[in-house]
């Protein structure tokens, strides 16, 4: 079994464990700020290497994207951003988000941020996160982050990884997401089609 396939199998099993509480992190608001995370800004000039994907379930729309370009040198960093919004009622509470990246990406400490409705406005806050190189990153909020079509209250989760695995072979790698939403069955998309194109050290075809 190849390294990538093995990690994909591990990620599916581990995501279930994460949502069940096996790797639990309580989200906390730290250095909250009133500014909203910027626009996606994702760009991929190669049509078959998409930097963004959207899935819909019930009244929720979930979009995951790579921020900026999705062609990254094997000694660089990549940031993923996931936004959850509602098209209509009912309101939803997001209890846990798991960013699935089963290719050995290393979580950059302090990079996990959530933008959500708080105290009458959208607030961007740093959150505690638990990370596994075989799975990805999980953030949780026991009270739940509110998603509502009223006032366009969405939840945005952003996380950055370092690509520092000397065993990496340049190639294209998919990623996914798992969610725990209050009152809904556990949701999981191991491969959403949000693809990272790893190229040789310092040779990103999109580098400026």
Helix, strand, coil in percent for the chain, rounding step 5: 10, 45, 45
Q: Is residue 62 part of a domain?
A: yes
Each residue's pLDDT tens digit, 115-127: 999 999 999 999 9
> Which residue stretches of the chain have pLDDT < 50?
1-14, 16-17, 22-45, 203-208
Q: Is residue 208 part of a domain?
A: no
- Within 10 angstroms of residue 110's Cβ, the number of other Cβ atoms is 13
Number of folded domains in the chain? Answer: 1
Q: Is residue 99 part of a domain?
A: yes
Per-residue model confidence (pLDDT) at position 202: 53
CATH number at residue 8: 2.60.40.1170
Each residue's pLDDT tens digit, 142-183: 999 999 999 999 999 999 999 875 567 788 999 999 999 999
Tokens of 138: 């999980």
Q: Which residues have a Cβ under 8 Å from the Cβ of 74 and sit 6 or more positions away?
A: 163, 165, 168, 170, 198, 199, 200, 201
Q: Is residue 206 part of a domain?
A: no
Q: Which domain holds residue 69?
A: 3-193
The strand ranges marked E within the chain are 30-33, 52-57, 60-66, 71-73, 77-86, 92-100, 106-107, 113-118, 121-126, 130-132, 136-147, 155-162, 171-173, 176-181, 187-189, 196-199
Q: Is residue 203 part of a domain?
A: no
Query: Coil, strand or helix: which one is 10?
Result: helix
Look up tokens 């930097």; give the residue.
Answer: 51
Q: Are 76 and 150 in contact (CB under 8 A)?
A: no
Tokens of 94: 């997001």
Per-residue model confidence (pLDDT) at position 163: 82
Look up tokens 């959208």; give the residue.
Answer: 122
Per-residue model confidence (pLDDT) at position 46: 53
Per-residue model confidence (pLDDT) at position 175: 96
Measure the N-to-C terminal CA separation of the chain; round to a whole number of Å: 37
Q: Is residue 7 part of a domain?
A: yes
């Amino acid at each position: 079994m190849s390294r990538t396939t093995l990690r994909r199998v591990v990620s599916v099993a581990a995501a279930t464990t994460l949502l069940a509480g096996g790797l639990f992190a309580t989200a906390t608001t730290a250095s909250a700020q009133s500014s909203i995370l910027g626009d996606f800004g994702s760009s991929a000039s190669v049509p078959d290497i998409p930097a963004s994907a959207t899935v819909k379930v019930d009244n929720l729309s979930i979009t995951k994207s790579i921020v900026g370009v999705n062609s990254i040198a094997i000694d660089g960093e990549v940031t993923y951003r996931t936004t959850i919004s509602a098209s209509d009622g009912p309101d939803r509470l997001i209890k846990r988000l798991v960013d699935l990246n089963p290719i050995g990406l290393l979580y950059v400490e302090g990079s996990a941020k959530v933008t959500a409705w708080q105290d009458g406005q959208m607030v961007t806050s740093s959150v505690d996160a638990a990370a596994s190189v075989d799975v990805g990153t999980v953030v949780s909020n026991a009270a739940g982050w509110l998603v509502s079509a009223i006032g366009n209250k969405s939840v945005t989760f952003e996380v950055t990884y370092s690509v520092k695995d000397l065993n990496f072979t340049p190639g294209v790698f998919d990623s996914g997401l798992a969610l725990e939403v209050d009152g809904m069955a556990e949701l999981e998309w191991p491969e959403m089609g949000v693809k990272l194109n790893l190229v040789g050290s310092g040779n990103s075809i999109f580098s400026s």
